[in-house]
Structure 1
Amino acid sequence: MLRKFDYPWLLLKRSLWLILPIAGIGMAENKLGSQRCNNLVISIQGDSGTRFLNQMDVRMLVTENGGDPLMGSRLNDVELHELERRVRRSKLIKKCQIFRDLRGDVVIEVEQEKPLARWINSSVNGEVRNTSGYYISDEGVFFPLSDSYSARTLLVSGPYFNNPENLKSGEGASLMELLKYLNEDPFWRAQVSELIVDRDGEISLMTVLGDQVIEFGKADAYQAKFWKLRTFYNKVLSRDWGRYKRINVKFQDQIVCE
């Protein structure tokens, strides 16, 4: 009969193990909420070589250009989701997360967009319009140029890029893969200075060494075309880089030169 009284006691002990931590967390949250904001801790993530934004830029975004300084505000009164919304309004920012820590700081972690290419807007005659253009991210997102930093990346042009939705099509996906390949391959990253795409998705490559125009065709089967072109470089052009001004690799198993 005595063992029957053990169960309520065991149940009480187990309940206390659950209640006490929850109560402790609640007290800590209440204490934290009554604290004042001591500091804004800003972390900018992304490619270490990319500097579209600095800490002051992010501070101005989160404080509405200083109109809502946050410093000294009760943490309970700080709307974290609203602060994230303010920061995400910048097209240069890919992700943003804001939270408060146990020291009473508001921590702002942002990730910059990563430029895969830079689109140069041009006229019908091919003349570059220096005042306009966009970066294209590795996810096919267009985002604006920065006043404080210019990324060294592949230049692209042509009417195909006038409609950003083109990059979301099946053909656009192949083009995005080609752009990534050009950025990752050391030889072609150094050799190709500009990629031009017409309305139909036909690609021309402008080169550095030899100053040739490469008529590449569509982006499909791009790796086979680059392999064929690299073989041609090694066996023919390496003897005389200025021998041809136009190289066509659009046709299977053929290279046409002028």
Structure 2
Amino acid sequence: MLRKFDYPWLLFKRSLWLIMPVIGIGMAENKLGNQRCTNLVIDIQGDSGTRFLNQMDVQMLVTENGGDPLMGNKLDDVALHDLESRVRRNKLIKKCQVFRDLKGNIVVKVEQERPLARWIQTSQNEELQNTSGYYINEEGVFFPLSESYSARTLLVSGPFFKNPKNLETKKGASLVALLRFLNTDPFWKAQIAQLDVDKDGEIHFLTVLGDQQIEFGTAENYEPKFKKLRMFYGKVLSQDWSRYKRISVKFQDQIVCE
């Protein structure tokens, strides 16, 4: 049985177990805050085959093209949120996180946008203009081309893409879902060279093998159409790739060929 004067001592010891970690964290944060930036660590994440930006590009974004250097600054004086905002202004970057580590580094983690397709502007003669256009990401959002890198991705064209808000409609959502499908299906990813969409959402494909133009109709219920087309490829076109110039699967339960 404990004597009465043992209770305050026991309570004091238990309180120390609670207080000491808090004091330790406070001291560590104070020490870290007084530390000076020793290095800028840049981690570019995302698709390993995409190189829209390199480490120097990100460094220029963080430091306002070198006008606001971070090296040697007290970490407590560095506004991490402002640095994130600077980097996010670049439309080639999807996400950005800036934080400081225990070594005195400022770490910048960025994720590049991943292109689902590239819209190519066409002239009045329907000729491709390779220097203009936009990329389209997996959410159906447009982002600009890069001056230093051109991603290998599906080409799309046509007046439907001239208004980015069209991709926010029901037809647009179906079209983005179709683009995702074309990027994940090995056969169609290799076979479809270009996709053209008119103002009403009607789709035409240009193929790699053969010289066919495929009339697909709108993107709604695209999976049954691709199944029909895949069967037609296997049973008919594989015997003679030049047999037809136009193939239409826009009508339900039938394939029209010329």
Q: State the TM-score bracket (shorter-chain normalisation).
A: over 0.9
> CA, structure 1 residues 201+7, in 2 after alignment: closer, same or farther (shift >3 Å)?
farther
The 10-residue stretch of structure 1 (125-134 or 89-98) with the greater mean CA deviation from structure 2: 125-134
Return the letter of the residue paired with 1:183. N
Distance 2:170 2:8 in 1: 66
Residue 101 (structure 1) aligned with residue 101 (structure 2): yes
Residues 85-107 of structure 1: CA deviation (Å, up to 9, x unaligned) = 01001000000000001110000
1:123: how far off?
Answer: 3.0
1:3: how far off?
Answer: 5.3
- For 1:149, the equivalent position in structure 2 comes to 149
Residue 225 (structure 1) aligned with residue 225 (structure 2): yes
Residue 249 (structure 1) aligned with residue 249 (structure 2): yes
Residue-pair matches, total: 258
- For 2:129, the equivalent position in structure 1 comes to 129
1:141: how far off?
Answer: 1.5
1:14: how far off?
Answer: 2.7
TM-score by length of 2: 0.96
Return the letter of the residue paired with 2:151. A
**SS of 1:60 mapped into structure 2:** helix
**SS of 1:211 mapped into structure 2:** coil
Return the letter of the residue paired with 1:190. A
Return the letter of the residue paired with 1:112. Q
Residue 172 (structure 1) aligned with residue 205 (structure 2): no
Residues 141-183 of structure 1: CA deviation (Å, up to 9, x unaligned) = 1111111111100000111111112212222111111101111
- For 2:71, the equivalent position in structure 1 comes to 71
- For 1:239, the equivalent position in structure 2 comes to 239
The 10-residue stretch of structure 1 (6-15 or 20-29) with the greater mean CA deviation from structure 2: 6-15
- For 2:205, the equivalent position in structure 1 comes to 205
4+ residue segments displaced more than 3 Å = 1-11
- For 2:160, the equivalent position in structure 1 comes to 160
Counting aligned pairs with the same residue, the percent is 75
The 10-residue stretch of structure 1 (12-21 or 183-192) with the greater mean CA deviation from structure 2: 12-21
Q: Which runs of 5+ in 2 are unaligned?
A: none
TM-align CA RMSD? 1.4
Distance 1:238 1:61 in 2: 52
**SS of 1:108 mapped into structure 2:** strand
Distance 1:159 1:253 in 2: 28
- For 1:58, the equivalent position in structure 2 comes to 58
- For 1:17, the equivalent position in structure 2 comes to 17
- For 1:92, the equivalent position in structure 2 comes to 92
Distance 2:111 2:14 in 1: 44
Residue 29 (structure 1) aligned with residue 29 (structure 2): yes
TM-score by length of 1: 0.96
Distance 2:217 2:240 in 1: 25
Residues 88-145 of structure 1: CA deviation (Å, up to 9, x unaligned) = 0100000000000111000010000001100001134422223211111111111111
Distance 1:248 1:201 in 2: 15
Distance 2:73 2:169 in 1: 47
1:7: how far off?
Answer: 4.4
Q: Which runs of 5+ in 1 are unaligned?
A: none
1:35: how far off?
Answer: 0.9
